Chain A
């Protein structure tokens, strides 16, 4: 068996484990152990990858293996990783572990909750390691329905409507993706001689421009829905706000990245000509998203909505980076995916901790939380500072990289887009500082807040885990750049040669 399959196998075995035991506490422990194992395994895998590269491994994908699944249709379980998928896998492992830690206190249907969470992670891992479009799609869809149940059963507020909205919008997105990949399958037969779903084979085929255009739009918009790309973002704020903390972390931290990864790996990489010709449309959409997301965030009083809308803005940078089609912008987009994934997970974790104690998420109802809960308050502030792009934290590096990558284009159109995107940081600073001022600093607004307890051990571990990630990217971005550079270069070359 290929070692990459362990990424899927470990959560699956964890699922089996929790199904076999009765006690809730044991369920939690098994899930925690399984998730910790994921982080260890993902780190080990990265180390192996780096040392193989150092030893001179030149293949585009490492640990590659392929096994027939539906042979007559050319559907294989074809897996392999490059640097880009590896950082995504690391991100998934970290966010899942943090999510499990944060959900430690969940009392309602514990087994089912962790079952769903683990199922989501199976979908995410499978998606990132798949090199066959069909199996990739399988894993993408696998990560939709558990979200519906997670929000519907454990969520808050208008959870039923929001869960349904999320499921239907994501399903529509994936339907578009499906049309796109089926199109690729048939087009590969008509124009390339062999029907295939294989990403590596497809990348060597040269499809006619008119075919590429259709498939590019189908896949870009389809994955764009997952990313929360404007104007298909409306599921995100509603879904995030209703979801239980761990699910919000997962949704914003990982699910939206499935879309971003697909934009890069499928839409852009496989339809290079169309991408060069038409990506300007998505530059416009991304710029709107960045600006509009930031403005919409200004209006939010609910902290969760605030973070959800700011996610729309931040993920806009991912779309922008992908659509700019320069090497540096690609790298920025990948880095922003990881950075935003960790940051937003931390933010949701902090908001969840505050909500659990104060039972409100309205920034104007909170206040003086820092005094009572110094740890949680600090976590919130760190997440906020990352969000507004303070140097030293991950947000700064990744957004900066996108700007630099965008600035490479000299056209006035690109310049305006870059400037507008950069300007959004000012707005971000306003809402972050305002929220922090209202909710965290200041005097205690309600008497009962004086009794609030600070973070428990599990919450501390979750926060520390994520903060380490943020600081690591912020201070040593070269570690990640080193990992992804060659692959970003490959995608860039491909687009240029195409």
Chain B
């Protein structure tokens, strides 16, 4: 039994072990030499990432409270990749922040929460994971203690998080009242489309929407994104959001599968609002972090189109798209970070003429933006179109109409930045930014990923082969 639990819960054990190691290193004072400490952490992260690929059998633990399938393993691996790349690209900033041990303890705890959440087979475990994943994030958002904006971001995040928690919990209790049990299997068996269940569902949906920053539950996003230190923003936009979307599909398709007729409409409305509001507000932003915040709101809208597909294709396209989304955003945030750390420049108009001063960054930035906009030959083109194709599968024609309009709108928003970098004349030339090797490595990985994933259909095929067992 113990052996089995170690094998099946390998991801959780490993990350817990890493947290313990961090404690020990902290006690030994290794984190006073940040450079050395970072190297140790990076090695741990690499081991963690590689270990994720050791084959693991599907299985249940604790009477179904915890379970794992090939798809869940893949999702955890994707999160691991995000964690690894973000930590790599943030190295310089973490060293300068002088508190690396704290940073990683919080980060790892949050990831642990995500693992638990993804593997949950019971609503309470899910809730536990969700909270464990978001509480450390509030501390991380406020990590820059010198900056007022950062503290504000922390407060905003914790408040909105608490609010969404309250709503979710209320929904959960209603659900318990309606079904009499909170295990996934039991709910699937006993759920019916009645008023109480629907109310419960609406509250739970609202709770999730907060975490995914779906309009109209997105109010916190831009401020927190802007205020939090860039690596944390990156983590929030990519890993945190990705993990919630992963579990959201599972819950929607399996637990609430019988309510499909009801939630299809809800999801469609949320999707249209997210895409439209995200795109329109992104148009007005000057600060790149805020711009990316609204872009991520719009992107979630597109993900919801795929989710509305309500089929295997829905899962396939969402997981596939999220990998591309992860790579694109990490590239974008890493560059924003590299440039703002060194020059303090963070607005779109600062990026005018970037191609002339920093061609490498400008090209990768453009490719990543195109990937988000869905322009070939980047993988984002396929990702986005598969989402739309999936949406069409359930016959949501109106939704699809809105999505295509938004596709054009989003192109406009992203081209605005491309225009600044390549076409606009700069008033003041941006200095050549010193390139850190690790950041460049991350950018190269993202770039290769963004291009390759579109041409190699194998990855999509793999997702398809495992997605039937949510």
Contact = CB atoms under 8 A, between A and B. Distances in A.
Which of the listed residues B388, B389, B392, B422 has the most CB atoms from chain A within 10 Å of its own CB? Answer: B389
Interface of A: 68-73, 75, 134, 137-139, 141-142, 144-145, 148-149, 152-153, 159-160, 163-164, 167-168, 171-172, 175-176, 178-179, 182-183, 185-186
A72 B460 contact: yes
Contacts of B419: 152, 160, 164
B382 interface: yes
Contact of A145 (B370, B382, B400): B370
B461 A72 contact: yes
A175 B404 contact: yes
Contact of B392 (A152, A168, A175, A186): A186
Nearest to A164: B415
A178 B401 CA distance: 11
5 contacts: A70-B461, A72-B460, A141-B376, A152-B422, A172-B408
B390 to A, nearest CB: 9
A171 B457 contact: no
B460 A160 contact: no
Given A148-B415, A178-B385, A186-B392, A70 B407 contact: no
A183 B389 CA distance: 9
Given A138-B381, A145-B375, A179-B404, 20 more contacts: A70-B460, A70-B461, A72-B316, A72-B461, A73-B389, A75-B457, A138-B377, A141-B375, A144-B375, A145-B370, A149-B423, A159-B423, A164-B415, A168-B411, A168-B412, A171-B408, A178-B385, A178-B388, A178-B404, A185-B389
A71 B375 contact: no
Interface in B418-434: 418-419, 422-423
A316 to B, nearest CB: 25
Nearest to A143: B376
B386 A164 contact: no
Interface of B: 313, 316, 370, 375-377, 381-382, 385-386, 388-389, 392-393, 400-401, 404-405, 407-408, 411-412, 415, 418-419, 422-423, 455, 457, 460-461, 464
In the A-B complex, list the 10 residue pairs whose CB atoms are closest, starting with the nearest.
A72-B464, A175-B404, A70-B457, A152-B423, A142-B376, A69-B457, A141-B376, A171-B408, A182-B392, A172-B408
Contacts of B460: 70, 72-73
Contacts of A142: 376-377
A71 B461 contact: yes
A182 B388 contact: yes
Contacts of A68: 457
Contacts of A168: 408, 411-412
B407 A175 contact: yes
A144 B370 CA distance: 12
A160 B87 CA distance: 38
A179 B385 CA distance: 10
A149 B422 contact: yes
Nearest to B356: A109
Contacts of B370: 145
Contact of A141 (B381, B388, B392, B461): B381
A125 to B, nearest CB: 14
Given A71-B461, A153-B423, A168-B408, A182 B415 contact: no
Contacts, number: 80
Given A75-B457, A168-B411, A185-B389, A138 B423 contact: no
A149 B412 CA distance: 13
A122 to B, nearest CB: 9
Contacts of A185: 389, 392
Nearest to B370: A145
The CB with the most chain B CB atoms within 10 A, among A70, A148, A168, is that of A70
Contacts of B400: 179, 182
Contacts of A183: 392
Contacts of B376: 138-139, 141-142
Contacts of B381: 138, 141
A460 B422 CA distance: 32
A15 B29 CA distance: 53
Contacts of A153: 422-423
Contacts of A144: 375
Contacts of B382: 70
A164 B401 CA distance: 22
A71 B313 CA distance: 12
B7 to A, nearest CB: 30
A145 B408 CA distance: 12
Contacts of B393: 186
Contacts of B411: 167-168, 171
Contacts of B392: 182-183, 185-186
Contact of B407 (A138, A159, A163, A171): A171
B389 A182 contact: yes
A149 B386 CA distance: 26
Max count, chain B CB within 10 A of own CB: residue among A72, A75, A159, A185: A72
A75 B461 CA distance: 11
B233 to A, nearest CB: 27
Contacts of B455: 69
B15 to A, nearest CB: 32
Contacts of A179: 400-401, 404
B375 A164 contact: no
Contacts of B423: 149, 152-153, 159-160, 163
Contacts of A164: 412, 415, 419
Contacts of A171: 407-408, 411
B386 A73 contact: yes
Contacts of A186: 392-393
